[in-house]
Structure 1
Amino acid sequence: MNSPSVVLRRSDLLGDYRSDRCDIVRDFYAPALAAATAYDRAVGYFSASVLAVLGLGIGEFAARGGTMRVVASPQLSQEDVEQIKAGYALRIVLEQAALRDLELAVQDPRAAHGLGQLAALIADGRLDIKLAYVEVQGRVGIYHEKIGIFRDGRDLVAFKGSANETMPGLVGNFESIEVFRTWEPGDGPRAVRIGKDFEDLWHDRTPLLRVIDFTDAARDIIEAYAKRTAQQREPALPPMDGAPLPLPLPNTAGRLTIPAELTVREYQKQAIRQWSAHGCRGILRMATGTGKTLSALSAAARLAQALHKSGEPLLTLVIVPYQHLVDQWSKDIAWFGMQPVRAYESTASWYAQASSLLDSLSLRCAQGGVIVTTNVTFAGKPMQGILDRYEGRLLVIADECHNLGARHLREKLPDSAQYRLGLSATPERWFDDRGTDALTEYFGEIVYEMGIGDAIKAGALCQYTYTPVLIELDEEETELYAEVTSQIARIIASQGFSEDADRDSPLGKLLRKRSNILGHARAKLPALRQEITKRRNDWYQLLYCAEGRHPLLYEYGDAEEATQLQQALVMVGQDLRMPAAPYTAETRRDERQKVLRRFAQGQDLQVLLSMKCLDEGVDVPAARTAYLLASSSNPRQFIQRRGRVLRKSPGKKRADIVDFIVVPPTGTGALAHATERNMVARELTRVTEFARLADNETETLDILRPLRQRYGLFDT
């Protein structure tokens, strides 16, 4: 072997490297690392996956007793920034952010080779990691410089340029670096200066920058994952046919695997088989609470295992409506053996991870990967760009897929997805046949259905009682309802319904206004007091309120009156002294989780009040009573709300639904008979659906019989 004092000189290193002219990893990093005895690197972002790219270079480097020093800047999420503003200890927040990045990095399958070397270097005291950040007048910023130095005991090679120490930075992006070698005329002073810059940085002597130790914090994660990687075993592969779902070994193969402790229900197996039989395309129409998420992940796991037979990796893209559902899905995905990329909030918080994952799949270094994103992030240019450049096997799973029928979302769905799975209790879009058709055209037909009635019979949901409470509009509300209904009739007569009727069209606005009149009917709060007083000692109660404010407040310019939710919160929490809390869009995400935990414990939070935030995907299985102060005529909303309270939970035998039904006032001519009849018919649509499966169906029908007789609605 050549003397270390001359190895760098003999590595044929050039003065610059650019992606269009060479392979930066192969032509520069690998030979330089193979020749050096010391490597210093300062970057804006560091990923352990780079060790896999460097390949044999890192092995030779470690065998020679090489030492490494790395300075990086943690990627701060919006939540991290908020914690810093709130006064959390800066060092703790930075370490948490860096550990989060490192946990994702070491799980990258491409890091398998390098992790053992990385752990060995740390154990031998030959690798140190520090975190750098900008601190100016109390404001924290990201250190984004990119410099590196290779040494061999005599010579020094310094470089600077655009590439980060990440897989996409070295492989997936277009990068360039400038290289300065001490043995080349003119290069020496710049190489030495860059080396001194690093030394000043390492010893925290650089103005505006602060540097803190990170090696000890990173040690446990790196060593644990290195050990786990060394013990990998390949699990058995199940057939993709009608055979029973397997109970596989713990996942160490880098793809989704059904957990051994998961009991897949027979109806879920049937749903998966039906989807597979239709070419792994279709929609599962399954009632809220029947386990759509676990069914979908089990289907994805079977598909991934089948593709593995032919050596093809699978990227799974999960699209959900809201951020809290990203977190909820991610927990289940982790149970299936993979840490997904959570793509929401700022692009900087997820883009590098997603890009690195795609590179890994394209290079066949990983067997699978999962990205979970919100509808908004999915439709944005960064995510669309990620999907456009991916050419491998792609499975799209859409939770609450009816949302993707909207024009601005359906046009973004990737045509390159060979496999597609839609999930919804109500896939049809309200007053939007075109959007509904677009969903079935993309995902396929409904391949499996399980309604609430079937779910109750199967024991997946609990039984329930249903209590309709009849409420009359007052005189002002009746007049406004008649006026709005007349305006709606004129638009429909001239234009008909449009696919945007439920959005911001003139018709859509009027429909929402009329719905709000019913939802905010003033007689509801006194009726609520009577009903909730009957259950004053019961826990686990949900209260759904109307959105916004009473339409009459806007008519008369008095928008200062408290909202229905605020009034209900005062009534329940102060007047009746029942512990209560709101769960709304204004509730911070971390506070929402605390509220749900308190509610589930059943010790200090008796009533949870919401408007729409509990409609889609939020798990509150402990809920036993639901008061529906407001519910739109859209079947999706009231079906979801019913399903929310029917979820099974320990000690829960049945649920109780109290529904406030608005009817025309007696003894007034403000409404024409046809308008009165239509109002009642719209309300009875929900009542009939709820009563049909309730344990007290006969009692409920008796309550409504006089109303049906009055308006001749026995067929509704």
Structure 2
Amino acid sequence: MPAFSAATTYSRAVGYFTSTSLALYARGIEQFVARGGSMRLIASPHLDEGDIADISHGYSVREVIARATIRELEGIENDRVLDGLGQVGRLIADGHLDIKLAFVVRDNRIGIYHEKIGVFRDEYGDLVAFTGSSNETLGGLVANFESVEVYRGWTQSDGARALRLESDFEELWADRTPMLSVEPFPDIARERLIEIGRERPNAVLTAREDALEHRPTVVTEPRRLAPPATLAPREYQRSAVEKWLRNRGRGFLAMATGTGKTKTALFAATAVGNVLREREQPLILLILAPLQHLVDQWIADVQAFGVTPIPVYESSTRWVPLVEDQIAQARLGQRPIVALIATNASFAGSKFQEILNRLTLPLMVIADEAHNLGSPQYRASLPANAIFRLGLSATPERWHDEIGTHELFEYFGPIVFELGLGEAIEMGALCRYTYHPRLIELNAQETELYTDLTTKIARCIAAGESPDDADPNSPLGFLLRERAGVTGHATGKLAALRLDLETHRSDWFQLIYCAEGTRPTPQGEERGPNQLAEVMRLAGKELGISAHQYISQTSRSDRKVLLRRFASGNDLQALVAMRCLDEGVDIPDAQIGYLLASSSNPRQFVQRRGRLLRRAEGKDRAEIFDYLAVPKSGAPIDFDVERTLLIREIERANEFGKLSENYGETLDTLRPLRDKYHLMDL
């Protein structure tokens, strides 16, 4: 204000200008204008992604800028903003203000003009020049932490610097600065501002105090990724990030479920953001997750690192405008990071792919449970322009899909860091556990169906097909699923489960995993009962355990409520799941698990074990019950075929048992089966 009160000219070049900043020095401007003072302003236009693309494709720069500038002036309803624009319009109409717009043009790319210099001159020819970090905004002038260097033209030490800044401005105004394009303010926008000035003739911004009344609405610079003060990376997480960075920001982290892959990935993204910050480049962070509830969990984690991400799922009308707007801000230097968290389905959709294909900013992709992206549709959608690529998975290899596995490693890179379950337990990242395998003999009807299916499977194997790499949609794949259904729904499992639940009927934090679908029956007969319904009746009605089902049809809002009730430790004792509570669901309080489903997919049982081994306050160990169905003794089944099929079950049980606190129990339970089928070497 003192400078305005004495000056006759003011020249300002700044990245960002808002008309409401005039309120801060309104009294000074009154005196400035009364002496016939004139202002020249150079600022950056507000170009969105479409504007930049049009300029890059050869459209008239002036037309694009005119369109962008008038767009900024349309639809404004805030009286305070309109008052400021009205004052700008009156200054233009009275010949006291001239405006030009500047932006960077280099290598066919459009960037933001981000310099900040200013020059005052008075009627005697003295000048004051300044340069610094603050924009010509309320936040830049009042609320933010900024630094400004001021040079007085009449002193020997400052004079040369002050004249240099003035010369820099004159070069800018004349559009003679290399790599910059300085365009006149569009006539159509100039007329619109003058019109606003006429519409609001009585709007007077007379006091600095008036501007300060609105300080809570000042928007400061968007935050960068930074871990919360209470979170420090563990040594193995630091090592994982370092190894990933050494591999040029490419690769998989094959870390056991529950060891903090999410936090490790965000530490990596923070490191990348810091590097790009030194280069004055933004980061577009794209996080992919297979399911919506995992997106919701990632949102909470990213927010803890100081950035509010955009969820990309459901209706594109909700997220497309936000994504486009934030990317445009990043391109213009106004946003250091854009965080997008998408479900795999929305990521592969045409709307999001169109945005990715236009993206030229530094892009980092984090893929949670990355093995899910190995299908032809998803891997074809992975952005080739991603500079940094991080795959997360306890088991990166896709089961029975060598091509998909190979393509994922081609895209993300090799496994750069591996933390197995045993090592994680040993170092205390996961809790210790006991394992109790239960061998359940099929009844007569189940054995008959099991034998019939096994005979058909044997014919497929004899014809050259392999159960290890069978197509799930092939006849062999169908037979294998039906056979797994027989063992998974074995009636004897409910009796064994009853005995184990009775010993824990007063305990909390229990998970029960049920077999999928309904119990298989001979062809032509009605399908058998649903195991989940049977378990709910057993646990809830017969044993009095407070339990609730948790299935794919459970809504996202209901899932959050159920997990909150479960974690309270005084409301819900057990969750009964079918095809849920596997990948990514964070329930560290779970202590006791019952595995009725007998999937031989290693990923499923690794995920389920991982759910139970996460550390939590007051939890020092977990307990796992695993129900393994075997044919009735003496069943007429081809020995070699049955041996081949049982290998998976025994390997799974042995894998669970060898890291447990009671491995001897597993060996004792499995010894008769291993001896009978000559599998003692497993």
CA–CA distance in 2 between the matches of 1:495 and 1:114?
74
Identify the residue that residue 585 of structure 1 maps to in structure 2.
552
For residue 457 of structure 1, what is the amino acid of its counterpart?
Answer: E
**Is 1:558 aligned to residue 517 of structure 2?**
no
Counterpart of 1:655 (choices 610, 622, 628) is: 622
CA–CA distance in 2 between the matches of 1:627 and 1:258?
36
For residue 437 of structure 1, what is the amino acid of its counterpart?
Answer: H
Counterpart of 1:694 (choices 660, 663, 673) is: 660
Counterpart of 2:402 (choices 427, 430, 433) is: 433
Identify the residue that residue 218 of structure 2 maps to in structure 1.
226
Identify the residue that residue 426 of structure 2 maps to in structure 1.
457
Root mean square deviation, CA, Å: 3.8
Counterpart of 2:312 (choices 340, 343, 359) is: 343
Is the 8 Å Cα contact of residues 472 and 523 (structure 1) preserved in structure 2? yes
CA–CA distance in 2 between the matches of 1:457 and 1:624?
18
Question: Which segment is superposed worse, 257-266 or 474-483?
Answer: 474-483
CA–CA distance in 2 between the matches of 1:393 and 1:57?
35
**Is 1:668 aligned to residue 635 of structure 2?**
yes
**Is 1:682 aligned to residue 648 of structure 2?**
yes
For residue 218 of structure 2, what is the amino acid of its counterpart?
Answer: A
Counterpart of 1:359 (choices 315, 328, 335) is: 328
Identify the residue that residue 100 of structure 1 maps to in structure 2.
none
Provide Cα deviations, 1:414-455, integer angstroms capped at 9, x if missing partner: 111111000000011111111111111100000000011000
Is the 8 Å Cα contact of residues 539 and 606 (structure 1) preserved in structure 2? yes
Instruction: Figure out how many residues of one structure are paired with residues of the other and give that number.
Output: 531
CA–CA distance in 2 between the matches of 1:406 and 1:438?
9
Is the 8 Å Cα contact of residues 488 and 511 (structure 1) preserved in structure 2? yes
SS of residue in 1 equivalent to 2:367 = strand
- Show the 5 A alignment for 1:457-496: 457-494=426-463, 496=465
Any unmatched runs of 5+ in structure 2? 1-32, 35-50, 93-134, 144-187, 200-213
Is the 8 Å Cα contact of residues 615 and 644 (structure 1) preserved in structure 2? yes
Is the 8 Å Cα contact of residues 466 and 690 (structure 1) preserved in structure 2? yes
TM-score normalized by the length of structure 1: 0.68
Provide Cα deviations, 1:71-101, integer angstroms capped at 9, x if missing partner: xxxxxxxxxxxxxxxxxxxxxxxxxxxxxxx
CA–CA distance in 1 between the matches of 2:71 and 2:481?
67
Is the 8 Å Cα contact of residues 330 and 339 (structure 1) preserved in structure 2? yes
Question: Alpha-carbon deviation of 1:475?
Answer: 2.2
CA–CA distance in 2 between the matches of 1:434 and 1:296?
26
TM-score normalized by the length of structure 2: 0.71
Identify the residue that residue 337 of structure 2 maps to in structure 1.
368
**Taking structure 1 as reference, are residues 498 and 705 closer, same or farther at Cα in structure 2, changes over 3 Å only?**
closer
Is the 8 Å Cα contact of residues 312 and 343 (structure 2) preserved in structure 1? yes
CA–CA distance in 2 between the matches of 1:345 and 1:531?
41
Question: Alpha-carbon deviation of 1:24?
Answer: 6.4
SS of residue in 2 equivalent to 1:662 = strand
**Taking structure 1 as reference, are residues 472 and 348 closer, same or farther at Cα in structure 2, changes over 3 Å only?**
same
**Taking structure 1 as reference, are residues 549 and 377 closer, same or farther at Cα in structure 2, changes over 3 Å only?**
same
Provide Cα deviations, 1:463-518, integer angstroms capped at 9, x if missing partner: 00000011011222223223323333444444635998454333332322222121
Provide Cα deviations, 1:232-287, integer angstroms capped at 9, x if missing partner: 6xxxxxxxxxxxxxxxxxxx6x3212222212100000100110111110000000
Is the 8 Å Cα contact of residues 396 and 405 (structure 2) preserved in structure 1? yes
Question: Alpha-carbon deviation of 1:713?
Answer: 1.1
**Is 1:27 aligned to residue 55 of structure 2?**
no
CA–CA distance in 1 between the matches of 2:375 and 2:481?
18
**Taking structure 1 as reference, are residues 478 and 327 closer, same or farther at Cα in structure 2, changes over 3 Å only?**
same
Question: Which segment is superposed worse, 486-495 or 308-317?
Answer: 486-495
Provide Cα deviations, 1:384-435, integer angstroms capped at 9, x if missing partner: 1110000111111000001111111111111111110000000111111111
Question: Alpha-carbon deviation of 1:57?
Answer: 5.6
CA–CA distance in 1 between the matches of 2:651 and 2:468?
22
Identify the residue that residue 670 of structure 2 maps to in structure 1.
704
**Taking structure 1 as reference, are residues 30 and 317 closer, same or farther at Cα in structure 2, changes over 3 Å only?**
closer
Question: Alpha-carbon deviation of 1:114?
Answer: 6.7
Is the 8 Å Cα contact of residues 628 and 649 (structure 2) preserved in structure 1? yes
Question: Alpha-carbon deviation of 1:60?
Answer: 3.1
**Is 1:626 aligned to residue 593 of structure 2?**
yes
Is the 8 Å Cα contact of residues 432 and 499 (structure 1) preserved in structure 2? no
Is the 8 Å Cα contact of residues 307 and 314 (structure 1) preserved in structure 2? yes
**Taking structure 1 as reference, are residues 715 and 695 closer, same or farther at Cα in structure 2, changes over 3 Å only?**
same
SS of residue in 1 equivalent to 2:218 = helix
For residue 590 of structure 2, what is the amino acid of its counterpart?
Answer: A
Is the 8 Å Cα contact of residues 447 and 635 (structure 2) preserved in structure 1? no
Provide Cα deviations, 1:181-214, integer angstroms capped at 9, x if missing partner: 99xxxxx9xx9xxx9xxxxxxxxxxxxxxxxxxx
Is the 8 Å Cα contact of residues 451 and 635 (structure 2) preserved in structure 1? no
CA–CA distance in 1 between the matches of 2:667 and 2:407?
38
CA–CA distance in 2 between the matches of 1:655 and 1:225?
50
**Taking structure 1 as reference, are residues 697 and 488 closer, same or farther at Cα in structure 2, changes over 3 Å only?**
same
Question: Alpha-carbon deviation of 1:23?
Answer: 5.3
Question: Alpha-carbon deviation of 1:520?
Answer: 1.0
CA–CA distance in 2 between the matches of 1:646 and 1:304?
32
Identify the residue that residue 404 of structure 1 maps to in structure 2.
373
Is the 8 Å Cα contact of residues 454 and 642 (structure 2) preserved in structure 1? no
SS of residue in 2 equivalent to 1:276 = helix
**Taking structure 1 as reference, are residues 61 and 587 closer, same or farther at Cα in structure 2, changes over 3 Å only?**
farther
Counterpart of 2:479 (choices 476, 501, 510) is: 510
CA–CA distance in 2 between the matches of 1:58 and 1:392?
36
SS of residue in 1 equivalent to 2:386 = coil
Residue identity (%): 45
Is the 8 Å Cα contact of residues 312 and 342 (structure 2) preserved in structure 1? yes
Identify the residue that residue 321 of structure 1 maps to in structure 2.
290
**Is 1:255 aligned to residue 229 of structure 2?**
no
Counterpart of 1:293 (choices 254, 257, 262) is: 262
For residue 420 of structure 2, what is the amino acid of its counterpart?
Answer: G
SS of residue in 2 equivalent to 1:633 = coil
Is the 8 Å Cα contact of residues 314 and 394 (structure 1) preserved in structure 2? yes
CA–CA distance in 2 between the matches of 1:359 and 1:648?
42
Provide Cα deviations, 1:99-125, integer angstroms capped at 9, x if missing partner: xxxxxxxxxxxxx977859x99xxxxx
**Taking structure 1 as reference, are residues 401 and 499 closer, same or farther at Cα in structure 2, changes over 3 Å only?**
farther
SS of residue in 2 equivalent to 1:551 = coil
**Taking structure 1 as reference, are residues 33 and 476 closer, same or farther at Cα in structure 2, changes over 3 Å only?**
closer
CA–CA distance in 2 between the matches of 1:684 and 1:557?
31
**Taking structure 1 as reference, are residues 505 and 449 closer, same or farther at Cα in structure 2, changes over 3 Å only?**
same
Counterpart of 2:281 (choices 312, 321, 328) is: 312
**Taking structure 1 as reference, are residues 61 and 704 closer, same or farther at Cα in structure 2, changes over 3 Å only?**
farther
CA–CA distance in 1 between the matches of 2:681 and 2:71?
82
For residue 666 of structure 2, what is the amino acid of its counterpart?
Answer: T
SS of residue in 2 equivalent to 1:649 = coil
Identify the residue that residue 533 of structure 1 maps to in structure 2.
502
Any unmatched runs of 5+ in structure 1? 3-17, 65-111, 121-177, 183-187, 196-221, 233-251
**Is 1:637 aligned to residue 637 of structure 2?**
no
Question: Which segment is superposed worse, 616-625 or 679-688?
Answer: 679-688
- Show the 5 A alignment for 1:99-248: 224=216, 226=218, 229=220
